Amino acid sequence: MQLVQNSARSAAHSDMLADVREGLSRPQKELSPKYFYDEAGSLLFEEITRLPEYYLTGSERELLLQCSQWFVTSTGSRTLVEFGAGSAAKTRILLDGMLRAGTGCTYMPIDVSASTLAETAGTLRIRYPELRIMPVNADITRDFRLPKHDGPVLFALLGSTIGNFDEMNATRLLRRIRGQMEPLDSFLLGVDLRKSTRELEAAYNDVQGVTARFNRNILQVLNRELGADFDLMAFSHRAFYDEHLHRIEMHLVSARDQVVTIPEIGRIPLTRGETIRSEISCKYDRAAVQVLFEAAGLELEEWHTDEHQRFALVLGRVRVD
């Protein structure tokens, strides 16, 4: 067992090293947002979900409260498989619906963050002793096998996590999910909708600076995992909405000319004002989701938005040609 854990750890280390080496050698330096979510990053994300400016979580929660019972009964799902589950706080609304409907018996949260996943599974096992909780620690951008489970399955990707992928990678992710689906399974997607630049930029530039701390934490992760020597105070947070690409971009701005060393990668020079892009967060409308679904072989069956049209829950099925 120890041997298996050690080899999984070293595979994760070499994946991270390869990702970081590649991302930081691009003309626009870049880091994958999946590295935000160590224990501290996951806690900071939870803090973000409670910020008044970050309307996404509250809007999706409101929609789940309205629609969950319908989703569960109309799909007859016996298993809920959630990609990027995090704390699964909102997911409880779906789990409650499954238990009320008497259909559900299994919840399979998938997350790249082992600490978050363990915490989530532990909490849910206490809260739902009647559910089978089967956590899967995996990177959803790579191929992995799901443990054996009962169908029909409701696959879920909530919180607008799809927005953290560009169109090509979002399509790949939906195809991977589609590849796991049987004809009677369903897919529930949460997407953040296009809206005013003012509202969007406020959500990613909160006055308390929690998002800034979340952003800088990715550098702390690289310091710990790769022995890098990023000086967190030498980077500032910047988030802006690109109205043409319909996405928030989050960057870390170098406050001065500096050289960062990552022992297994080498010396990385950064000029004053140069940025490392740490996240994109794409915003959608129905047509954009339709394009993604078509490319992934999914049929868009239902589109539900909250009363302020801020967020949408989309229900899909496998497309039969």
Contacting positions for ligand AVI (CB under 6 A): 48, 56, 159-161, 163-164, 204, 211, 279, 281
Binding string, 5-34, against ligand SAH, x = CB under 6 A?
A: -----------------------------x
| Min dist. Cβ of residue 231 to ligand SAH (A) | 25
| Min dist. Cβ of residue 317 to ligand SAH (A) | 21
Interface stretch with ligand SAH, choices 1-9, 153-161, 194-202, 311-319 (CB under 6 A): 153-161
Nearer to ligand AVI, 74 or 305 (CB): 305
Distance CA 184, CA 250 (A): 38
- Closest residue (Cβ) to ligand AVI? 281
Contacts 24+ apart (CB under 8 A), 22-28: 24/262, 24/265, 24/268, 24/276, 28/275, 28/277
For position 163 contacting ligand SAH by CB under 6 A, the verdict is no
Please report how the helices 91-101 and 114-127 are oriented relative to each other, as an axis angle in degrees rounded to 10: 40
For position 140 contacting ligand SAH by CB under 6 A, the verdict is yes
Nearer to ligand SAH, 56 or 153 (CB): 56
| Min dist. Cβ of residue 140 to ligand AVI (A) | 12
Which residues between 70 and 109 bind ligand SAH (CB under 6 A)? 84-86, 90
The secondary structure of 124-153 as a DSSP string is: HHHH-TTSEE--EE--TTS--PPPP--SSE
Distance CA 201, CA 71 (A): 32
Interface stretch with ligand SAH, choices 5-13, 158-166, 257-265, 303-311 (CB under 6 A): 158-166
What values do phi and psi take at 9, rounded to 5? -65, -40
| Min dist. Cβ of residue 136 to ligand SAH (A) | 9
- Which one of ligand AVI, ligand SAH, none is in contact with 140 (Cβ closer than 5 to 8 A by kind)? ligand SAH
Q: Which are the contacts of 201, defined by CB distance < 8 A and separation ≥ 6?
A: 239, 240, 241, 248
Nearer to ligand SAH, 33 or 316 (CB): 33
For position 210 contacting ligand SAH by CB under 6 A, the verdict is no
Which of these, 315, 282, 168, 232, lies nearest to 40 by C-alpha position? 232
- Which one of ligand SAH, ligand AVI, none is in contact with 116 (Cβ closer than 5 to 8 A by kind)? ligand SAH
Both tokens of 174, joined, read 């939906």
Distances (CA, A) of 70 to 118, 138, 243, 298: 29, 29, 34, 20
Please report how the helices 167-180 and 286-296 are oriented relative to each other, as an axis angle in degrees rounded to 10: 50
Residue ranges that bind ligand SAH, judged by CB under 6 A = 34, 37, 42, 45, 49, 57, 84-86, 90, 111-113, 116, 139-141, 158-159, 161
